[in-house]
Homo-oligomer: A and B are copies of this chain.
């Protein structure tokens, strides 16, 4: 097991996690989450999570950007993995900072690449569905940023994308968990 300790590192402005056994410096920087609001005929594609955290709750196809990917490629990969969907991105819908959990979220508006609503639950999803705005399971949303993304889509609709949405006004630093949620 690694044994990390916070230590000053020469030439660096911040203390870092250094393994006391092998000297490895773990530069723990925020991670990028890429995701999409996939819209078809006014409905939005949502996934019911098969994994923790928030198993059983509904989210958007999204996940960690991997090395070697662009944000756009990552968003398309996540839609394929979690929702079995081949999507085309319209453009950037929102950019969120969740400072509490060390995430930057890059959210696109997207559609099905073929124009046909083809999707299926991937291994990380219990269910995948298209919801009209009124039928979105609002009481079973996995994360605050899912609310934020849906609201950003609601504001812009199918119209031209402009300045991307930022954090919700009530949580400018991304520090509030979802009431009743266990984090994230």
Contacts and interface: CB of A to CB of B under 8 A. Distances in A.
**Among A81, A97, A172: residue with most chain B CB under 10 A:** A97
Contact of A2 (B22, B73, B163, B173): B22
B19 A99 contact: no
Interface centre among A13, A22, A92 (most CB of B within 10 A): A22
Contacts of A28: 67
Interface residues of A, number: 45
Contact of A104 (B13, B23, B71): B71
A138 interface: no
Interface of A, secondary structure class, is loop
A53 interface: no
Interface in A37-54: none
Oligomeric state, in copies: 2
Task: Name which of A70, A106, A174 has the most chain B CB atoms within 10 A of its CB.
Answer: A70
A27 B2 CA distance: 14
A24 interface: yes
B68 A97 contact: no
A65 B22 CA distance: 26
Nearest to A67: B102
Given A81-B13, A92-B164, A29 B67 contact: yes
12 contacts: A2-B24, A3-B22, A30-B66, A30-B67, A70-B97, A70-B167, A72-B97, A73-B99, A91-B163, A95-B106, A163-B163, A163-B164
